[in-house]
Amino acid sequence: MKKVKFTQQTYHDRLTQILEDFPVLDDIHPFYADLINVLYDRDHYKLALGQLNIARHLIDNLSKDYVRLLKFGDSLYRCKQLKRAALGRMCTLMKKQGPSLAYLEQVRQHLARLPSIDPNTRSMILCGYPNVGKSSFMNKLTRADVDVQPYAFTTKSLFVGHTDHEYMRFQVLDTPGILDHPLEERNTIEMLSITALAHLRAAIIFVIDISEQCSYSIEDQVKLFNSIKPLFTNKPLVVALNKIDVITLDNLREDAKALLRDLETQNNVYLIPMSTLTEEGVMKVKEFNRWLMAEDPDWDPTVFGPDLRNQFMLANDEWKFDNIPEIMNGMNVFDYIDPDILVKLRQLEKEEEERLENEAGEMEEEQPFRLTEDEINLLKELRNKDALTRMEHALRKGNKSRPTLTQASRTGRLQLGAFEDHLKDMGINPSAAVDRARSMSRGRKRSRSESPSVERSKSRGRSKTPQEEGLRDKRQKLEVEVKAKKAQRTMNKDGRKGEADRHIYNLKPKHLYAGKRGNGKTDRR
C-alpha cells in the first residue's frame, strides 16, 4: 500500500507542477494569449494540458481502488500481484501521455527563448515590409543587437530593446516584415507582427523604403499601410522614409511624391525622412515620436511608478507640476558650477601631498624599538619554560608520541658496538657486558626431548570418526542429517508465507465479490 500510494503521489505532484507552471490562456494578457495561439495553436495547447489533467485524475482513482483491494488481500502473493497491477496501469497511463509531454516540452523551450514584453509599459512598434530597415533603426535607437542582412525575412520573431528619454524608459519592439495579402493567407512570422499591433498600446513607426531596394515599390508599401491602417486606430503614428542616403525626396518620381503627399494628408500622419546608414533624421524620429506619446491624453504619466511631484519641497507649490526646462534665464545646470573649481582641486591635491610627506618624515625620525637587558632575560626564561612544558607534555602523551625502536636497534646490532666503545671510554672492561648482551640476543634452541611425540593409530579397519562434529561414526552422522531434514519440513509447514510463496488459499474470496455489506452482516468475519 505504501508503494502504490508513493507512486500515485509522485505522479500527482509532478503533473500538478506541470499544469501550474504553464500559463492559463484565460488568465493572461490577450497579447500573450494570441501569441501562444499563433506560435503553438491554442486548441493543441489546451488539449495537451487537458490530457495531463485527466491522467492525473485517473491515477488518483486507480490508487484508491487498488489500496482498497490490498486491504482485503488474503496472502502476500495476492498483495504483490495487486501492487504490480496498480503500478503497471499507472505506467501505461503515463506512456500514453508521451506525445503530449513532448509537445509541452517544445513549448516550454520556445517560451523560455521568447523576449520579455511588458504589455502595460510605454512602447514603440516598428513595422513595414521586409528589408526596409526596421532592424537597423532598432540597433540605432537601442542597445539591442538585432541581426541585419540584405535579404527579406531576416527577423523571424519579436525583438525587444529599451531606450531612455527624459528619465523615462521606453520599450521598442522590432517586428517581422508584413506582406500585403489577406489575413488568412499570412504565415506565422507575419502574424507575430499583426498580434503585436492589435494588442499592444504603443506608438507606431511605419518604415517605408523610398529607394525601393527592398524589392517592393512605394505603391506596394502604401497599399500595405492602408490595409493594416485599422490596427493603428487611436495610436500615435509616424511614417519614417528610410534610405535617403540612396535617393532624396526631391529626386523621387512624381507619382511616388504624389502617393506620399496623399498618405500624409488623408491619414493625418507625419512623414520624417531618415537614413539608418548615416544616422540622418534618426534622432528626429525618436524625439518626434516621444513628443507624440507625451501629447496623447490616453497615456498615463505615472506608468513607470507613482507620481512623486506632489512631494517636492519648493518655495511655491504651483511649481511642482511644471516642466523643468533645460535652459532657464539663459543658463543651464553646468553654468551653476563654481568656475574656480579646478584651481581649488589643485590646491587640495597639493595639501594632500604635503601632509603625506610630513607623515613619512615623522616615521623616519622615530627611534627603532629596543629591549632592555631585564626584558631580554625575562624573554629567555619564558622561552625555556615553554620548551620544558612542551617536553613534559610529550612525555605524558601515549605511545604515539614516543620514539619507536627499529628491529636493528631492538636486537642490539646497531648499538652493541657503540655500547662497548662507551664502556671503554669510561674505563670499564666491557667483555662481560657484551657477552651478556649477545647471549640474550640469541634464540633458545629446542631440545629433542621437548618435541611432542605423535602416536599414530595402527587400527586401519575402524572408520574415521568425525571428531570435529562430536559424532561417533558415519552412520550416526547420516541419522542426524535425516532427522534434521524431517524437522525442517515440519517447520516449513508452520512458517510464515513470503512474497515468493505463490500459494492462494481462496481463488474467489467472498468479501471481494459479495458487494456492499448490509447491517448486521459481519458475523462471517
* Residue 241 within a domain: yes
Express each pLDDT in 421-458 by its tens digit. Answer: 877 877 778 887 788 777 776 655 554 544 444 444 44
Half-sphere exposure of 29 (CA within 13 A, CB side): 13
Bridge partners of 160?
173
Looking at residue 303, its pLDDT comes to: 46
**Is 22 in the same domain as 150?**
no
140, 161 Cβ separation under 8 angstroms: no
pLDDT tens digit string along 35-75? 888 888 888 899 999 999 999 999 999 999 999 999 888 78
d(CA 436, CA 288): 117
Give the largest CA-CA distance in the chain.
Answer: 140
524 Cβ contact partners less than 8 Å away, ≥ 6 residues apart:
510
- 284 and 217 within one domain: yes
pLDDT at residue 58 in the model: 95
Are residues 75 and 141 located together in one domain of the fold?
no
> Is 385 inside any structural domain?
no
- Looking at the fold, whether 128 and 231 belong to one and the same domain comes out as yes
Residues 227-239 have pLDDT tens digits of: 888 888 778 888 8
Residues 184 and 97 in one domain: no
- CB 282 within 8 Å of CB 137: yes
Would you say residue 525 has pLDDT above 80? no
Rounded CA-CA distance 385/362 in Å is 39
Q: What is the CATH number of the domain that holds 221?
A: 3.40.50.300
Q: Report the sign of the C-alpha dihedral through residues 89, 95, 97, 101, in that order.
A: positive
Report the pLDDT value the prediction gives residue 306, as an integer from 0 to 100. Answer: 56
The cell numbers describing 16, all together, are 500538478
Whether 493 is in a domain gets the answer: no
pLDDT score for 453: 46
Which of 125-134, 186-195, 401-410, 438-447 has the lowest average pLDDT?
Answer: 401-410
Q: Are residues 91 and 139 in the same domain?
A: no
Confidence of residue 102 (pLDDT cuts 50, 70, 90): very high
The count of structural domains within the chain is 2
The cell numbers describing 151, all together, are 535579404
Domain boundary among 295, 312, 338: 295
Helix (H, G, I), strand (E, B) or coil at 237: strand
pTM across the whole model? 0.49
12 within some domain:
yes
Q: What is the mean pLDDT of the chain?
A: 76
Of the two residues 362 and 459, the one the predictor is more confident about is 362
Buried b / exposed e along 126-146 (16+ C-beta atoms within 10 A)? bbbbbbbbbbbbbbbbbebeb
If asked whether residues 2 and 24 sit together in one domain, one would say: yes
514: which residues sit within 8 A by CB, 6+ positions away?
none
Are 69 and 155 found together in one domain? no
Instruction: Give pLDDT, residue 505.
Output: 65
Lowest mean pLDDT among 94-108, 328-342, 362-376: 328-342
Q: Which of 85-94, 174-183, 287-296 has the lowest mean pLDDT?
A: 287-296
Q: What cell was used for 248?
A: 532624396
Single residue among 244, 273, 295 that ends a domain in this structure = 295
Residues 238 and 196 in one domain: yes
Question: Hey, is 70 helix, strand or coil?
Answer: helix
Per-residue cell: 133: 530597415
pLDDT at 297: 46
One domain for residues 99 and 2: yes
pLDDT in tens, 165-204: 666 777 888 888 776 656 666 666 677 777 777 777 778 8
- Within a domain: 178: yes
Q: Is residue 54 part of a domain?
A: yes
- Is the same domain home to 37 and 145? no
Identify the domain containing residue 182 by its residue range: 123-295
Residue with the three cell numbers 509541452: 104
Rounded CA gap, 238 and 268, in Å? 10
Q: Mark residue 308 as left, alpha or beta (left: phi above 0; alpha: psi -120 to 50; beta: remaining).
A: alpha
The CA distance from 8 to 91, in Å, is 10
Confidence band for 301, pLDDT divided at 50, 70 and 90:
very low
149 has a pLDDT exceeding 60: no
Containing H/E element for 135? helix 134-141
Would 324 be classed as within a structural domain?
Answer: no
Evaluate whether residue 237 is within a structural domain.
yes
**pLDDT of 91 higher than 50:** yes
Please say which residue of 90, 112, 134 terminates a domain.
112
Position 474, amino acid:
K
Does one domain contain both 1 and 92?
A: yes
Contact 271, 263 (CB under 8 A): yes
- Indicate which CATH number applies to the domain containing 93: 1.20.120.1190
